[in-house]
Structure 1
Amino acid sequence: MKYHPINNQLFIKNRAKFTSHMKPKSIAVFNSNDIFTTGSDSTLPFEQHSDIFYLSGADQEDSILLLFPDAIDENHREILFLTETSKLIEIWYGAKYSKEEAQNVSGIKTIYWLSEFNKVFFDLMTEAETIYFNTNEHYRQAVELESREDRFIKKCKADFPAHKWEKSNQILQEIRGVKEPEELEIMQTACDLTNKGFRRVLPFIKPGIMEYEIEAEFMHEFLRNRSKGFAYTPIIASGYSACVLHYIENNKECKDGDMLLMDVGAEYANYSSDMTRTIPVNGRFTDRQKAVYNAVLRVKNEATKMLSPGVLWAEYQKEVGKFMSSELLGLGLIDKADVQNEDPNWPAYKKYFMHGTSHHMGLDTHDYGQLKLPMKANMVFTVEPGIYIPEENMGIRIEDDVIVQEKGKPLNLMKNIPIEVEEIEDLMNS
């Protein structure tokens, strides 16, 4: 792995949190992601499933984690199953974890080879009454492929029809939303790498440059700082393209007079950062661009202040909408009649700000975390308002990653990334 080793105490704590929610005499199983083929003998780079990584730190394909707190043999209360390295694997792909390495990474004492899974699993299921299946129930999931978890669940239900089953996801939604100090430190590193990338590209951007050239500069800076690269597919959108929320082609020329929206974030140790900044291609904001930009920035600042324990996400969204309505009135994009006659289910401000303001951040860019229950300290949210004006060929979004604090104002993990108009202009023209 490119990243520095993570103290296994993080994964020990995470497992303890998960198992404390499990029912008596129950087993939970977590599978790694598949390796996906692109055709012929080519595959996509392996990306570990965030749940098994969260609970074990195992960053290797073909891995299985089994948790059974009530196992009769205490050595079987936590087991990590891994591929055994062979000479062939070692020569062609490089050695996989040894048992000692896996123990050091995960803090799990019992490591078995994957070939032993079926025998050990059958034996432990004779002791268990319930099994926790790891289904994907994220509110934005749109999975069409059958995953390794799906295949395991199907086989397990067929082989053990008398067992009861529960869902791991409900536990994970609760515990993964609240970050441990080690996680916050890793996320700060990811945000710091994003800062380095942004500062690298600011003086590089000028009229005539291509969006993909900017993407390449970010990638260069991320890779040279121990990141795998982008935490998600980057958006480098100039001019009208910034009004397309998920524009990812990044193939247009950046033209004089246009604004450039960059929604990018570095990955570090499988954790995500998520930043958006919008800047003038020529290095100078026009009066109109500055007015819209500062309106978005004021909404972001007001929204950030609201992130505190006890706040309900849905109510927070409504309050942000009020701030945005006020700014759009000031910009002349809507009028009082629009607000008075608005549909409560689609307020007037939605014409120019149609997406949500915040989502959980962590191992996944849209991370697990409760959205229907009050916010808690050490949850991490994005704050990302935007104003999109297709008729003016302009979309502006500003986004930071923020920790909810037990007391005091929220902590901005991106506080060092340039955001004020004057600072951006100075750096672009230095």
Structure 2
Amino acid sequence: MKYQQIPSSLFIKNRKKFMAEMKPKSVAVFNSNDIYPVSADSTLPFAQHRDIFYLSGADQEETKLLLCPDAPYEHLREILFVRETNAHIAVWEGEKLTKERATEVSGIKNVMWLQDFEKTLFEVMTYCDTMYVNTNEHYRSSVETETREARFVKWWKEKYPAHQVAKSNPILQKLRSIKEPEEIELMQTACDITEKGFRRVLGFTKPGVWEYEIEAELLHEFIRNRSKGFAYTPIIAAGNNANVLHYIENNQQVKDGDLILFDVAAEYANYSSDLSRTIPANGKFTKRQREVYDAVLRVKNEATKMLIPGTLWKQYHVEVGKLMTSELLGLGLLGKADVQNDDPAWPAYKKYFMHGTSHHIGLDTHDYGLLHEPMQANMVFTVEPGIYIPQEGFGIRLEDDVVVQENGEPFNLMRNIPIEAEEIEELMSN
């Protein structure tokens, strides 16, 4: 890992919260992700399953976590299983978790080798009536690959058909959506690294550079600050490319007069940041570009103020839609007749702003959170309005990550990243 070690106290707290929600006489198991093959002997870089990381801090493949708070023996209540390491593995693959190191990272006293998992689970199951399985129920999930978790669930159901089944995911959806102070600090670090990357490209960008060259500048700055790299596939969209919401080719040359839409951010310690900015390639907005830019910024600023405890996500988007409608009328993109005759299922403003304004962010860029429940303090949301005008050859999106506060306005984790048009122009001119 590139990041500084996270105090094990965070994972101890997270496990206590999860186990407090478990039914009596129950057990829960969490699995690491697979290392996914490409072809031949090539594999994708390993990325840990966020749930086992949230509960243990173990950032290694072939790892299992077992939680059984009502086990009659203390050593069976929390167990981390890791792959047995040796000198040969250390030479060919590098350092792996020893039992002592796994305890240091996770705060779990009982660390066992993975080969002992099945017999240990058998003993624990004799004390339990219910098994928590960890299925993916995120509202955006669309998974075709059979994961390590999915294989385990199939195996367990065949092995223990008489036990009741419960789901870990609803518990995790609630717990992971509300961040501990240590998590917010890690997300702040990810945002600070993102700031460094953005300031770097403000000095680099000019007409004639290529989108992928800008991408390379960002990646350089992220990695040199202990990030693994991008929190998600980067979008660097010059000119009309910005009107493709998930443009990821990043293979076009930037032209004089273009606006460049960035949707790109760093991860840190598996925690995401999520930034959008839009800058003029030549360092100066045209009058029309500035009008639209300021409209998007006004919507973002007003939408941010709505992220307070008790706000309902669905109603929040209705209110943001009203703000955007007003701005589009002012820009001449919508007329009064468009608004009066619009379809409530697809309001008129959606012609120019067709995506949502906010989503949970944390260990995942689109993080866990139950959208039908009111917002709570220490939830972290993006705020990302945009206006996309293909007929004028540009699109603008602005996005920050903000923490819902118990009292007062949301706290902007990206408060130091330039966003005012004048500051961007000044920095680019220097």
The TM-score range, normalised by the shorter chain, is over 0.9
| TM-score of the pair, normalised by structure 1 | 1.00
Once the two structures are TM-superposed, the CA of residue 124 in structure 1 deviates from its matched residue by: 0.7
Aligned to 1:127: 127
Aligned to 2:62: 62
Aligned to 1:299: 299
- Describe the superposition over 1:282-310 as per-residue Cα deviations: whole angstroms up to 9, x where unpaired: 11000000000000000000000000000
Answering whether residue 32 of structure 2 is matched by residue 32 of structure 1, we say: yes
CA–CA separation in structure 1 for the residues paired with 2:144 and 2:293: 38
Partner SS for 1:6: coil
Aligned to 1:106: 106
| TM-score of the pair, normalised by structure 2 | 1.00
Aligned to 1:278: 278
Whichever residue aligns with residue 17 of structure 2, its letter is K
Aligned to 1:216: 216
Matches within 5 A, 1:33-48: 33-48=33-48
Whichever residue aligns with residue 246 of structure 2, its letter is H
Whichever residue aligns with residue 428 of structure 2, its letter is M
Once the two structures are TM-superposed, the CA of residue 204 in structure 1 deviates from its matched residue by: 0.5
Answering whether residue 242 of structure 2 is matched by residue 242 of structure 1, we say: yes
Partner SS for 2:132: strand
CA–CA separation in structure 1 for the residues paired with 2:162 and 2:252: 58
CA–CA separation in structure 1 for the residues paired with 2:103 and 2:419: 43
Partner SS for 1:65: strand
Whichever residue aligns with residue 263 of structure 1, its letter is D
CA–CA separation in structure 2 for the residues paired with 1:26 and 1:251: 52
Once the two structures are TM-superposed, the CA of residue 122 in structure 1 deviates from its matched residue by: 1.0
Aligned to 2:369: 369
- Describe the superposition over 1:63-117 as per-residue Cα deviations: whole angstroms up to 9, x where unpaired: 0000000011111100000001122211100121111110010000000000000
Partner SS for 1:310: coil
Whichever residue aligns with residue 82 of structure 1, its letter is V
Matches within 5 A, 1:29-428: 29-428=29-428
Identity %, equivalent residues: 69
CA–CA separation in structure 1 for the residues paired with 2:316 and 2:238: 30
CA–CA separation in structure 2 for the residues paired with 1:222 and 1:203: 16
Partner SS for 2:231: coil
Tell me, which stretches of 5 or more residues in structure 2 are unaligned? Answer: none
- Describe the superposition over 1:308-338 as per-residue Cα deviations: whole angstroms up to 9, x where unpaired: 0000000000000000000000000001111
Partner SS for 1:55: helix
CA–CA separation in structure 2 for the residues paired with 1:130 and 1:329: 57
Whichever residue aligns with residue 97 of structure 1, its letter is L
Once the two structures are TM-superposed, the CA of residue 203 in structure 1 deviates from its matched residue by: 1.3
Whichever residue aligns with residue 128 of structure 1, its letter is C
- Describe the superposition over 1:327-352 as per-residue Cα deviations: whole angstroms up to 9, x where unpaired: 00000000111111110110000000
Structure 1 ranges of 4+ moved more than 6 A: none
CA–CA separation in structure 2 for the residues paired with 1:280 and 1:179: 36
Whichever residue aligns with residue 143 of structure 2, its letter is V
Answering whether residue 16 of structure 2 is matched by residue 6 of structure 1, we say: no
Once the two structures are TM-superposed, the CA of residue 54 in structure 1 deviates from its matched residue by: 0.3
Partner SS for 2:97: coil
Aligned to 1:15: 15
CA–CA separation in structure 2 for the residues paired with 1:414 and 1:356: 19
Partner SS for 2:111: strand
